[in-house]
Amino acid sequence: MTDKDCTMPGTCHWGESKVALVTGSARRVGKAIVSALHKHGYNVVIHCNSSQAEANALCGQLNGARASSAHVISGDLSASVAATAQRLVAEAQAQWGRLDLLVNNASLFFLTPLENATERDWDRLMDTNVKAPFFLTQAAAPHLKATKGGVINLCDVIGEQASPPLTIYGISKAALIMATKNHAIELGPEPHLPRPPPPLLQEWLSRTPLGRIGTAEDVADAVVFLASPSSSYVTGSGITVCGGRSLRL
């Protein structure tokens, strides 16, 4: 499950490659995300902690396909979280002088039965799965605003449906889902209002984080995605094409 909390642009109008920072991207899902973004023209910043060898190998592979298009940064997202987040974002942005996309993929996952869960278990899961994405988003926000970029958080159905003994993990993912919803409102663009706007339109846009009225093409794009091979593992769930309006009370 992925949640997106602000708008990703299309291709850069001035010919530069867009830049994505993907946390925990040396292996598994993160590696697949980095590879897919790279295939679609992004320059990619591969973040790792202990998987330095795998990250370097992936970086070499991607740079072999397109020169100077991948870079590795490292850091432990469970230690000095806010400071580490600031450093990682600064290093990622400095590599090509821009940042268009932050993908919060890094995550811990282990069982925590109530009878023997520890405070250390709680801290490890919450720091990596919630605190790190929060402070990475905070650090990245000014750079993403400059490029009209976006944040994608990798969430989980276990954040919506109870699944003990993955209890603390589920709590952490539920918190990340809520952080995504709040950041979508906080980081959304200013509404595009005509002068003078009709009262109903003004009220509608004020409650729509993306700040614009949706189009038929927005719905059509979602249909094309669902009809494509890219959605082959999506079933029984919906895509809410509403500019974020459903997030507000």
Q: For 138-153, how does the pLDDT look when each residue is reduced to its tens digit (9 = 90+)? A: 999 999 999 999 999 9
Compute the Cα dihedral for 14, 15, 18, 19 and give only its sign. negative
Residue 198: asked if its preceding bond is cis (omega within 30°), the reply is no
In which band, very low, low, confident or very high, does the pLDDT at 249 lie, cut at 50, 70 and 90?
low
Q: So what's the pLDDT on residue 19?
A: 98
Q: What type of residue sits at position 171?
A: I
Instruction: Give the residue-averaged pLDDT of 17-33.
Output: 96
Q: Average of pLDDT values for 100-128? A: 97
Distance CA 123, CA 79 (A): 10
Tell which residue, 149, 145, 142, 104, has the closest CA to residue 9: 149
pLDDT of residue 13: 37
Is the pLDDT score of 8 beyond 70?
A: no
Ranges of CATH 3.40.50.720 domains, the chain: 2-188
CATH: 1.10.10.10, 3.30.1360.170, 3.30.930.10, 3.40.50.720. Which one for 2-188? 3.40.50.720
Average pLDDT, the chain: 90
pLDDT at 12 over 50: no
236: left (phi over 0), alpha (psi -120 to 50) or beta: left
Contacts with 3 (C-beta within 8 Å, 6 or more apart), sequence order:
152, 153, 155, 176, 177, 180, 181
Proportion of the chain above pLDDT 70, given as a percent: 92
Q: Is 169 one of the annotated active-site residues of the chain?
A: yes
Q: At what angle do helices 28-39 and 52-65 cross, to 10 degrees?
A: 20
- The answer to whether the CB of 35 falls within 8 A of the CB of 62 is yes
Q: Would you say residue 196 has pLDDT above 90? A: no
Would you state the pLDDT for residue 237? 80
Distance separating alpha carbons of residues 99 and 94, to the nearest angstrom: 9
Q: What pLDDT score does 11 carry?
A: 36
Q: What is the mean pLDDT of residues 220-240?
A: 88
> Going by CATH, does the domain composed of 191-249 fall within 3.30.1340?
no
Determine the Cα–Cα distance for residues 241 and 55; give it in Å rounded to an integer: 35
Reported confidence tier of residue 194, pLDDT bands at 50, 70, 90: low
What is the structure's pLDDT at 77?
95
pLDDT at 154 over 70: yes
Within the chain, all domains assigned CATH 1.10.8 are found at 191-249
- Please, where are the H alpha helices in 4-131? 28-39, 52-65, 81-96, 119-126
Q: Which residue has the higher pLDDT, 238 or 174?
A: 174
pLDDT at 54: 97
Q: Which of 42, 134, 135, 169 is catalytic?
A: 169
Residue with tokens 């720091």, as numbered in its chain: 127
Phi, psi (degrees; rounded to nearest 5) at 73: -130, 155
pLDDT value of position 9:
34
Mean pLDDT of 208-232: 89
Between CA 94 and CA 182, with CA 140 as vertex, the angle to 5 degrees is 175
Task: Tell me the three state secondary structure of residue 113.
Answer: coil
CB proximity list for 244: less than 8 A, separation 6 or greater: 184, 185, 188, 208, 209, 210
pTM over 0.85: yes
